[in-house]
Amino acid sequence: MHEPPCLAVQPRDPPRVLQGDEEPEALIALCGSLYRLATDVTMDAIVTFAQQLRREVGESLVAACVRRDPALQRSPAFIR
């Protein structure tokens, strides 16, 4: 079985471009890649990263994860 990449290592602060509107395409691409990696194991890292982004972007990322796998709503990362 193919394991997804480890998300244990994550930036403390997202790059400035991910917080502003300068390069929205980069942010969309990153979120589009991250939500596909969401599992019980990776959800904590994804939520932590999402919390560092602009609120609406982080919420969209987490919502995409849950739409892909509704069981993630019961993960500790989603509940906190």
Note whether residue 56 is domain-resident.
yes
Q: Which one has a higher pLDDT value, 28 or 16?
A: 28
Q: Which one has a higher pLDDT value, 11 or 66?
A: 66
* Phi, psi angle pair for 67, to nearest 5°: -65, -40
Domain that holds residue 31: 22-79
Q: What total number of domains does the chain contain? A: 1
Note whether residue 75 is domain-resident.
yes
Note whether residue 12 is domain-resident.
no
User: How many other CB atoms sit within 10 Å of the CB of residue 38?
Assistant: 26
Whole-prediction pTM value? 0.69
pLDDT per position as a tens digit, 31-70: 888 889 999 889 998 998 888 888 888 899 999 999 999 9
Note whether residue 9 is domain-resident.
no
